Structure 1
Amino acid sequence: MSARMPKGMTAIRAELEAKSPMICYSGALVVDEEDHPIYSVAMPQEVAMKLCRRVYELNPKISVNIYTNDEWLVKDKKEYWAAQESDITGVIPQEVSFEDEEVYKEVHKVLCMGDKEDIAALEQQLVKEFPQIRIYRSKDTYLEIMSMKASKSDAIHMLKDHFHVKQEEIMAFGDNFNDIDMIRYAGLGVAMGNAADEVKEVADIVTDINDNEGERQILDKYFK
């Protein structure tokens, strides 16, 4: 599970030699073992279009990135923030015209990137103007926007039913605010040692930090 697009996760899945579905965009899209969509929660087209245009009105310096299924759409792939994200994920974005209404047909996530002061100001304004969508900062320079109906816990619930797994058999790890609903839902919710206090408060267990292989410590405890 990740906030990333499917292409940004396949290399990790291959490294783990895992053949399993992937929960992408923090629950807005789930793909099966062959990367075919099996669950999708997109933003309403009109809302996505209005949102992206409003961001540019508020601050033209903000990098606006649109994710639809397994496509990453930008105005300019050489733009600083888009190029940096491409280096991190290993995915090359596709350049499109944001004036084309078809771009907004099935938007799973909008990622706004910029200086932390600009992102903080943008978040404050968008939360006021767009109460019908989910808006949160995944880090100081990243603002992630999705349908209010998209959540990690709902995506896990769908897979639970798909694989006939009991809720109490589910283990989930998290360290950020958008992990809270997932940690609450899981039979065993685990907060990483580097997690925010609000995340630790809802967890059943708090493990060590990422750098000290906190996940592995829990997996060894329960599966060895």
Structure 2
Amino acid sequence: MRYKMLVLDMDDTLLDDDLNISTDNIKAIQEANKKETIITICSGRVSKSIISIIKKLGIANDNDYYISYNGAVINDLKGNNIFYEPVPQDILPKLIDIGREYGVDIQLYDKKGVIVEQVTSRTETYQGLSNIPADVVDDLKNYNQSIKILYNYDDIKILEQMQEHIIKLYDDKVNVFFSKPTYLEVLSKKANKGIALEYLANYLHIDKEEIIAVGDSFNDKYMIKYAGMGVAICNAREEIKEIANYVTKCNNNQSGVAEVINKFILKDF
């Protein structure tokens, strides 16, 4: 099988635990790109954060695309948007109320980045991970649109209760999932990494059997299930390993992405 597209999650997949990209990963990605494999970053991060990583890979091309906000947005590197599915406006105030009810940090998102009502130790950690400062506002309800919502809290059981609560109320309108153990995210029902990947594949006339998707967490489930070759990095959650076609031997600190590229893409050359 000649794979035409390689789709990569960033955190805990392409990036190591120190948020760096290994030399082996960069070299393998550049070699795959030379063989005309389309490299697509697909992340929960905001667009600016993803673009900085693409530049580090040394493969930036104006005709390339990336998927941000966990599948709610697709842009090309010129800044043109081809897919945009924000949280439904009619329930956004109610989702803010739910966050306040449970006492968690609530993060809204616009095209510039993150919006919060206060900076806490949790939001500071998030800013450090994403390298994107948060915009602090008086009242989140002054915003009538958000690309996604992230509930940030240390108590996983509270977030699990919130997930059940939101699904019970709005399962027909939103997707609710964990991107990290302490990050519960809400997207439009019409948006996730799998939906966005399918949209981009159709846009580029690429069959799903010609796609490899690599990830580690619950938000990656959708794209791993969609791709012809769904790959779980070996540090992935067990539920993700179970649905993957292949589980790497190397983790995110051992250049697991390079392993995938060498095994499935460069072997044919």
Equivalent position of 2:13 in the other structure: none
Higher relative contact order (CA 8 A, sep 6+): 2
| Structure 1 residue 33: Cα displacement | 1.0
| In structure 1, distance between residues paired with 2:107 and 2:160 | 17
Q: Percentage identity across aligned positions?
A: 29
3-state SS of the aligned residue for 2:253?
helix
The one-letter amino acid of 1:48's match is L
Equivalent position of 1:71 in the other structure: 113
| Structure 1 residue 181: Cα displacement | 2.2
Equivalent position of 1:173 in the other structure: 214
- Ranges in structure 1 where 5+ consecutive residues have no aligned partner: none
Query: CA, structure 1 residues 51+23, in 2 after alignment: closer, same or farther (shift >3 Å)?
Result: same
| In structure 2, distance between residues paired with 1:80 and 1:2 | 23
Matches within 5 A, 1:189-200: 189-200=230-241
The one-letter amino acid of 1:23's match is I
CA contact (8 A) 1:120 1:140 kept: no
Equivalent position of 2:188 in the other structure: 147
Equivalent position of 1:49 in the other structure: 93
| In structure 1, distance between residues paired with 2:132 and 2:111 | 14
CA contact (8 A) 2:107 2:114 kept: yes
| Structure 1 residue 100: Cα displacement | 4.4
Q: Deviations over 1:148-168 (max 9, x none)?
A: 111212211222122222222
| In structure 2, distance between residues paired with 1:158 and 1:24 | 13
Q: Deviations over 1:40-67 (max 9, x none)?
A: 11111121121112221x233x111001
Equivalent position of 2:229 in the other structure: 188
| Structure 1 residue 143: Cα displacement | 1.0
Q: TM-score, normalised by structure 2?
A: 0.75
Equivalent position of 1:158 in the other structure: 199
| In structure 2, distance between residues paired with 1:24 and 1:198 | 23
| In structure 2, distance between residues paired with 1:170 and 1:8 | 24
Query: CA, structure 1 residues 154+120, in 2 after alignment: closer, same or farther (shift >3 Å)?
Result: closer
The one-letter amino acid of 2:165's match is Q
CA contact (8 A) 2:116 2:140 kept: no
**1:111 to 2:154 alignment:** no
| Structure 1 residue 99: Cα displacement | 5.3
| In structure 2, distance between residues paired with 1:90 and 1:162 | 30
Return structure 1 stretches of 4+ with deviation > 4 angstroms: none
Q: How many correspondences in the alignment?
A: 219
